[in-house]
Amino acid sequence: MRALSQQRGAVLVVSLIVLLVLTLIGVSAARTVLLEEKMTFASRDAKVALEVAEALVRQGEQYIDGISTTGEFGNQNWLHAEGDAPDDLLAAATWSDNSSSSFEVPMEDSKGNQLSGRMYIEIAGNADKEDPADSITVGGYGQTTGGGEVKVFRIIARGQGLTDSTTRVIVSHYGKRF
C-alpha cells in the first residue's frame, strides 16, 4: 500500500505532454496538406484560363482567315478599326459587351459546363513590305503567288479559369494577305 500512496501521477503528466506534441504534429500536417491542395487548384485554374485564351486566339485566327474584306471592322463591338480598340487590358470596360464579345471554346469544366472567354480583334495596319514572315504570322504565307498587301490584326483574348477570379490575357498578331 505504501508504494501506491507515494506515486504522484508522473506517468499521467508525461502521457499528456506526449499526446499534446502528437496533436500539434497532426494539426500541422493537416494544415500543410490543405495549403498544398489550394496551391494545386490555383495552378490548375491558371492553366485552364491560359488554355481558354489560347483557344480564343485560334478562333480569332480562323475568323480572320474566313473574311474577304475588313468592312465589318468598326461596325461590331468586338471588331475594331485601327486605333479604336481599348488600350487598358485590365479595365472592366475593355471586357464588357461594348468592346469585346464572349465566345465558347471546346473545353468543359469538371461538371460538364462549357468554358468561355472574351475576345476582340483590331486592325493593326499593314505589314512591312520587306518580309512579314520575320515579324508576324501570315496565314498561307509562301503558299500563294498572288500579290496584295498584308493586313495585320491584333487579337486580344481573355480566358476565364474555373473560378471567376482567374483570368489570363493573350495578345497576338496575325496577318492576312488581301
For 112-129, what is the mean pLDDT? 90
DSSP annotation of 128: P
Can you give the pLDDT at residue 76? 85
Compute, in degrees rounded to 10, the torsion defined by CA atoms 127, 129, 134, 140. Answer: 70
Rounded CA separation 71/131 (Å): 26
Task: Report how far residue 79's alpha carbon sits from residue 28's, in angstroms, rounded to the nearest whole number.
Answer: 53
pLDDT digits (tens, 9 = 90+) for 56-110: 999 999 999 999 988 899 888 899 999 999 989 989 999 999 999 999 999 998 8
- Residue 173 is predicted with a pLDDT of 94
CA distance 43 to 114: 20
User: Greatest CA span in the chain, whole angstroms?
Assistant: 112
3-state secondary structure (DSSP) of residue 153: strand
> pTM for the full model?
0.75
Domain ranges of the chain: 10-177
First-to-last C-alpha distance (Å) of the chain:
107
- Strands 167-177 and 150-160, how do they pair? antiparallel
Distance (Å, whole) CA 15 – CA 11:
6
Question: What is the model's pLDDT at position 45?
Answer: 94
CA atoms within 13 A on the CB side of 11: 1
Kindly report, residue by residue over 4-57, the tens digit of the pLDDT: 566 677 888 899 999 999 999 999 999 999 999 999 999 999 999 999 999 999
Distance CA 89, CA 101 (A): 14
